Amino acid sequence: MATNAGGGGGGGGPASPNDLEDRSYLLQIYPRLAAQTLTCCNLRVQKDATTASVISDAAAALGLDPGRLYVLAEVKECGGEEWVLEAGDLPAQRFLLWPRKAQETHPRSLGFYFLLQERNHDGTIHYVHLPPVSKEQEAQLAARGFLPPPQDDFADLCNLPALNEDSILTNLRTRFHKKKIYTYAGSILIAINPFKFLPIYNPKYVKMYENHQLGKLEPHIFAIADVAYYAMLRKRVNQCIVISGESGSGKTQSTNFLIHCLTALSQKGYASGVERTILGAGPVLEAFGNAKTAHNNNSSRFGKFIQVNYLESGVVRGAVVEKYLLEKSRLVSREKNERNYHVFYYLLLGASEEERKEFKLLPPEEYFYLKQQNFKIEDEEDLRHDFERLQQAMEMVGFLPATKKQIFSVLSAILYLGNVTYRRKSTGRDEGLDVGPPEVLATLSDLLMVEEELLVEALTKRKTVTVNDKLILPYSHSEAITARDSMAKSLYSALFDWIVLRINHALLNKKDMEESVPCLSIGVLDIFGFEDFETNSFEQFCINYANEQLQYYFNHHIFNLEQEEYQAEGITWHNIDYTDNVGCIHLTSKKPTGLLYLLDEESNFPHATDETLLAKFKQQHQGNRYFVSTPVMEPAFVIQHFAGKVKYQIKDFREKNTDHMRPDIVALLRSSDRAYVRQLIGMDPVAMFRWGILRATVRGLAAFNEAGRNWAAKTSGVVRPVSRTPLGELQRSNAPVDRMYKRASMLDFCFDHSEERPLDAFEDIFASYESKK
Which residues participate in catalysis according to the annotation?
247-248, 252, 296, 299-300, 529, 531
The Cα-based distances of 634 to 156, 536, 638, 652, 682 in angstroms read: 47, 14, 11, 15, 42
Q: How many CA atoms lie within 13 A of 558 on its CB side?
A: 21
- 316-324 and 303-311: which strand pairing? antiparallel
Q: Is 264 left (phi over 0), alpha (psi -120 to 50) or beta?
A: alpha
Whether the CA torsion 721, 723, 728, 733 is positive or negative: it is positive
DSSP helix, strand, coil percent of the chain (3-state; round to 5):
45, 15, 40
Give how far Cα 765 sits from Cα of 168, 190, 193, 749, Å: 10, 11, 11, 11
Spell out a b/e string for 102-130, using b for 16 or more CB atoms within 10 Å of the CB, else e.
bbeebeeeebbbbbbbbeeeeeebbeeee
Taking the C-alpha atoms of residue 321 and residue 263, their distance in angstroms, rounded to an integer, is: 15
Nearest to residue 581, comparing CAs of 601, 563, 558, 614? 558
Counting Cα atoms < 13 Å in the Cβ hemisphere of 633 gives: 0
H helices, E strands: number in the chain = 28, 23
Rounded Cα distance, 17 and 242, in Å:
39
Instruction: State the Cα–Cα distance between residues 220 and 54, nearest whole angstrom.
Output: 32
Q: Is 250 annotated as a binding residue?
A: yes
Helices (H), 178-220: 203-208
109 annotated ligand-binding residue: no
In three-state secondary structure terms, 477 is helix
Helix spans in 80-220 (H):
91-95, 135-144, 165-177, 203-208
* 3-state DSSP assignment of residue 244: strand
Q: Which residues contact 220 (CB under 8 A, 6 or more apart)?
A: 146, 182, 200, 205, 209
How long is the chain?
773
Angle at 503 between CA 1 and CA 276, to 5 degrees: 35
How many whole angstroms separate alpha carbon 405 and alpha carbon 230? 44
Please, is 190 exposed, middle or buried when counting C-beta atoms within 10 Å of its C-beta (0-12, 13-18, 19+)? Answer: buried
Closest C-alpha among 248, 233, 325 to residue 292: 248
Angle at 272 between CA 271 and CA 274, to 5 degrees: 65
- Whether 313 has a binding-site annotation, put simply, is no
251 in a known ligand binding site: yes
| Residue 252 assigned as binding residue | yes
Strand partners, 310: 316, 520
Q: Coil, strand or helix: which one is 344?
A: helix
Contacts of 444 (CB under 8 A, 6+ apart): 413, 416, 417, 420, 455
Reduce the DSSP state of residue 139 to 3 states and report it: helix
Task: State how far the Cα of 151 lies from the Cα of 161, in Å rounded to an integer.
Answer: 11
Count of alpha carbons within 13 angstroms of residue 708, beta-carbon side: 21
Sign of CA dihedral 532, 537, 541, 543: negative
**Residue 249 known to bind ligand:** yes
CB-CB neighbours of 722 under 10 Å: 9
Question: Cα-flanking dihedrals φ and ψ of residue 205, to 5°?
Answer: -80, -30
Please return the burial class of 651, using the count of CB atoms within 10 Å of its CB with bins 0-12, 13-18 and 19+: middle
Annotated binding site: 245-252
- Please give the annotated binding residues for ATP, written as ranges: 245-252
